[in-house]
Amino acid sequence: MRKTIIILFLILGLYYIIGLKSESILKIPDNAIRFRVIANSNSDYDKEIKYKVRDDVQKYMSNILQNVDEINMSRDIISQNLDEIEQRISKTLSRESYILPYKVNFGLNYFPTKEYKGITYDAGYYESLVITLGSGEGDNWWCVLFPPLCLLEAEEGTEVEYTSFVKEILDKYV
């Protein structure tokens, strides 16, 4: 009888843990603003430049969108700061002696199909801030500016640890 109860608790515990993990996956809401940086090519140098631009712009966006909880306000803030975003990109590229052109576009932009954390995001046109470096033939990096999923992920930098009350009891008594 005791083994049956323990097995039942184990099954319930596993079900609970699996349920927690599936609920924790971040899904992109339909009403979201994405952020994308496209490298000139897949050379190591171009990828390094892409990440430097990403880091600089992401840090700036984190500051200006820090307390924003409405998409319309996010749109306004991004639109009002496009010149500053371009200036920051220009400074980053100058610092790295990058001489190819770049484009910044805020509006509806095409995104290819992407799988992220076990979820497939469909290709399509999405509201987004897109930075294209050079010819834009390299791999891209993207995340979600609003709601601030990439900004939260960048700040966290750690994995979430899941615990189960049932597992703790079993560990203690078995």
**pLDDT tens for residues 105-116?**
999 999 888 776
The domain segmentation of the chain, as residue ranges, is 2-23+161-173, 33-156
Per the listing, tokens 């990439």 go with 150
Residue 20 pLDDT: 45
| pLDDT single digits (tens) 52-75 | 999 999 999 999 998 898 999 999
Cα–Cα separations (whole angstroms), residue 14 to 18, 166, 170: 6, 9, 12
| pLDDT single digits (tens) 27-44 | 667 788 999 999 999 999
What percentage of residues in the chain have a pLDDT greater than 90?
50
What lies within 8 Å, CB to CB, of 43 at 6+ separation is 138
Residue 15 pLDDT: 55
* Average confidence score pLDDT of the chain: 79
pTM: 0.71
